Structure 1
Amino acid sequence: MSESSRKVTCMIRDAQVEDAETILDLEKSVFSEREYFIALPEELEKTPIQKQRQWIRNILENEKETLIVAKEKGVVVGWIVFKSQEKKRLSHTGSITMLVSKNFRGMGIGEILLKALLSWAEKNPFVEKVSLGVFSNNHRAISLYKKMGFLEEGRKIKEFKLSEHEYIDDILMCKFV
């Protein structure tokens, strides 16, 4: 079975404080891949579970933010978060981050999470624009974002330095809801 034809049936729902441990486990796993994230694993602070729970509580208490998880057999295998802007002139916008477990990529989880987030954003009276940044070599993610109606609104040339002579652009994308 090809990767693109594999599908999985996950439970998609708003995150709960009780998801903190499996969310943290997923973050550690994805960051250890060292591929499409700004921070390297060794640069990430070791987040205690209490801090992760508080991060989730803060999002749940903010009507301008959301955290949605995909769970398979009780384990978080993907999540997407929308973080709002605090400045008044930016309060209509926010940015997303999405992580999907390596073993569950190519199964439609990213698309399902993104659809759930966009549905939430369309119903939220505070949100008009959803933004993100993506490594220019992350073709799978860029393809998904374009499929979901995101537009490239800018590019930061050589924004990320991978090695002495290797750079990656940061593509800035957005969707108005």
Structure 2
Amino acid sequence: MTLIKKVDTAVIRTVRLEDAEAVLAIHHEVVGEGDYFIAVADEFNKTAQQQREWIQKILENQRDTMLVAEVDYKLAGWIVFISQERKRQSHTGSMAIMIKKEYRNMGLGRTMITELLSWAEQNPLIEKVFLGTFSTNTRAISLYKSLGFVEEGRKVREFKFSDGEYVDDVLMYKLV
């Protein structure tokens, strides 16, 4: 299913293969900020070809999807849902979202999550969307809760930063 929706100044649509380099650039930029992602910049070294292959795999799987947000014909962010491969978990999948810094606080995150949840609700194979986020990412946690996500648990001291600080992994879910 291809999704295209215009919302305010943004267009939310299904990713295309030709978006691979822009998606990769957003990934590099956001991971490079170092604030809320488990990977650090030097651990993320995917090539443009690997990114295209990843997107192709998503597009070919009816239980996966990836949406992008365009503002003024430029990719501003993306959201992905990847289903679990094991049969007993195949009705579930994880969500991840990345938005370029200059496009934050515009409602793109809420809009992309809402569109992804709508896709999941319409997909008879999907029953649960889950995610993990740093316990310090209070704005994201608040957004997720406002969209109906519930805290399922925590992995205590799951992440350790170079300064010795630990952060919990907050596990959240929404049934669709």
Q: Does the pair score TM above 0.5? A: yes
Structure-2-length-normalised TM-score: 0.94
What pairs up with 1:1-177 in 2 under 5 angstroms? 9-45=9-45, 47-177=46-176
In structure 2, C-alpha distance between the alignment counterparts of 1:165 and 1:115, rounded to whole Å:
36
The 8 Å contact of residues 159 and 166 in structure 2, kept in 1 or not, is answered as: yes
CA contact (8 A) 2:9 2:72 kept: no
Report the alpha carbon displacement of residue 127 of structure 1 after superposing the two structures with TM.
0.3
Q: TM-score with structure 1 length normalisation?
A: 0.93
Task: Give the AA of the match of 1:39.
Answer: A
CA offsets per residue over residues 64-108 of structure 1, 9 Å max, x none? 000000011222111100000110110110000000111111110
The whole-number CA distance in structure 1 between the counterparts of 2:167 and 2:9 is 34
The unaligned stretches of length 5 or more in structure 1 are 1-6
Q: Distance in 2 between matches of 1:111 and 1:81?
A: 14
The offset of 1:43, in angstroms, is 1.1
- Higher normalized contact order (CA 8 Å, seq sep 6+, divided by chain length): 1
User: Any conservation in 1 of the 2:132–2:169 contact (CA below 8 Å)?
Assistant: yes
Q: Secondary structure at the match of 2:33?
A: coil
Give, in whole Å, the separation in 1 of the partners of 2:20 and 2:72.
16
Code of the aligned partner of 2:170: I
CA-based RMSD of the aligned residues comes to: 1.2
Contact 2:64 2:82 in 1 (8 A): yes
The alignment partner of 2:126 has SS state of coil
Give 1:50 shift.
1.5
1:21-62: per-residue Cα shift (whole Å, max 9, x none)? 1111111110110110001001112x2211111111110010
Unaligned runs of 5+ in 2: 1-6
